[in-house]
Structure formats: C-alpha cells, structure tokens
Amino acid sequence: MFNNDLSQHAGFDVSVVAFDLDGTLADTLPDLHTATNLTLNDLGFGPVSADVVRQYIGQGIEYLLLELFKDLEIPIEAAELKSVAQQFRTHYEHHVCDRSALFPGIDGVLKAFQHRGLNMACLTNKSELFTAPILDKLGIRSYFQEVICGDTLEKRKPDPLPLHVLASRFGVGTKQILMVGDSKTDTACARNAGAPVVCVPFGYRSGMTLAELDCDAVLDRAEDLLDLVRKA
C-alpha cells in the first residue's frame, strides 16, 4: 500500500506541509495516560498501562474513553460519557504538557523547512484548548502559518474538509499539500482530499501496523522529509 523504499521515491513538489500533532510532531501519550488514570480513579477504577491508552489516541477524548470502557467492560451511557469526558478534560488541562515532548528530529525538520520558506500547518483532531499550550510549551507554534484543530471546523479528519480549508487559505490545490501523519485518520483525510501523505515510523496508529497504512511512503526517521520534500 506504500512505497517504503525511500531511496527510490521521487519526492514531493509541494507548497505546504501539514503535520498531525499527536504521534507525529510530539509524543503526547504520557500526559494523556496521566489524565486517563486520574479519570479512572475518580470513577473508582484502577489504572491502566500507557500501551492500553496508546490504542485509542487520535480520534478525540470521547472515542478514547468509549473504547477504553469497552476494553475494560465498564458500561456507560451517553449522558455519563459526556460528564466523564469533561472530568478527563479537566485533568488533561492541568497536565497537558508535563511530559509531552517532540519526537527525535522534528525540531530540526521544522527549522529547515522554515529556512527554505516552505509553508507549514498543524492539522490535528485535538481541541484548541489543548493544542495551543502544547505548541507553545514545545516552542513550535511559530513554525506554523495555520493551525486547524478538531473543533476549528464543523468536520475533522478523516473528513477532507480540513485539508480543503488549508488549500483555500494558502491559495493552492490539495495536491500541493503534503500530509504528514502517523495513523489511518491522517492517511484517510489525505486520500479523501486527493493530497499526498507520508507517515512517520513512530506514533500510535490505533493498533495498526505501518504496512497497513495507505500512504505514499513511510519515513525511516523524521529527517527523511528533508530529502523528500521540495518547495513547489
């Protein structure tokens, strides 16, 4: 489904690179794990491992909680889920960037693209409430001309709307935007919008293997982007 032989890949002539946040730019799992276990403790349940939480990252807090409760065989009603999600948000807001960190090589890639004059965007399903402080605390907000969060528009990834909006804002076609992500949510968004997409080797992927992701290439390391991306 993808061409993982980067030495044979012709590369991408694009005007914009759009990066996912969780699992692509930054390892946010430690703080999501903390918020999850604090929420479970509120409800009288014991903690879960980070690997359990890892499976459910990338599609919003409600999805994470709903799938987690299924996994733990904890029954929950829709109204209760809304209340529990708010508890989670409160905990996460207090710990949003305590231990989250950029993945290796990411800062250097962003600096290099900025030096080349390449436009960049952050395209995440995380809400603005959490995205803004993470980008600020990790010192990368200034790299992005546009930031689209999960609650910025009426639809989010994997719907193509976020990429179509980015294309409109930058005045380019979606084929001129390279999506860089780590999961099916990112690859499906790109495919739905007709945009090229590559995946990082780290990230969460909701239990999928790299080979299962429908992307144009899988990077061996973040720095591979520097050889693959050319400014159109």
Residue 66: CATH number of its domain: 1.10.150.240
Lowest-confidence region among 54-58, 140-144, 155-159, 205-209: 205-209
For tokens 């692509």, the residue is 24
Look at strands 229-231 and 146-148 and give their pairing.
Answer: unpaired
Same domain, 173 and 205: yes
> 121 pairs with which residues across the strands?
18, 146
CA atoms within 13 A on the CB side of 74: 17
Answer whether residue 10 shows pLDDT above 80: no
Instruction: Return the percentage of the chain with pLDDT > 90, whole number.
Output: 82
The last residue of one of the domains, among 95, 119, 138, is 95
CATH number where 156 lies: 3.40.50.1000
d(CA 16, CA 231): 8
Res 99: pLDDT: 97
Does the CA dihedral 189-57-9-141 come out positive or negative? positive
Per residue in 25-62, pLDDT tens? 999 999 999 999 999 999 999 999 999 999 898 778 99
Model confidence band, residue 21 (pLDDT cutoffs 50, 70, 90): very high
Same domain, 77 and 188: no
Contact of 107 with 38, CB cutoff 8 Å? no
Contact of 31 with 97, CB cutoff 8 Å? yes
d(CA 17, CA 24): 13
Same domain, 61 and 111: no
Q: Which helix (H) or strand (E) holds 122?
A: strand 119-123
Domain containing residue 39: 29-95
Same domain, 20 and 37: no
The last residue of one of the domains, among 95, 117, 148, is 95
Tokens linked to 185: 């949510």
Same domain, 58 and 158: no
Same domain, 145 and 63: no
pTM: 0.92
Res 79: pLDDT: 81
Any domain includes 1 = no
Same domain, 70 and 106: no
Average pLDDT score over the chain: 92
Structural domain count, the chain: 2
Tokens linked to 44: 């009288």
Answer whether residue 8 shows pLDDT above 80: no
For tokens 């999501």, the residue is 32
Average pLDDT over residues 175-191: 96
Answer whether residue 129 shows pLDDT above 50: yes
Mapped onto helix, strand or coil, the DSSP state of residue 77 is coil
Q: How many CB atoms lie within 10 A of CB 104?
A: 12
Same domain, 20 and 34: no
Angle at alpha carbon of residue 215, lines to 210 and 220, rounded to 5°: 55
CA atoms within 13 A on the CB side of 156: 18
Model confidence band, residue 76 (pLDDT cutoffs 50, 70, 90): confident
d(CA 32, CA 91): 9
Answer whether residue 231 shows pLDDT above 50: yes
Res 9: pLDDT: 65
Residues noted as catalytic:
20
Lowest-confidence region among 18-27, 105-114, 149-158, 208-217: 208-217
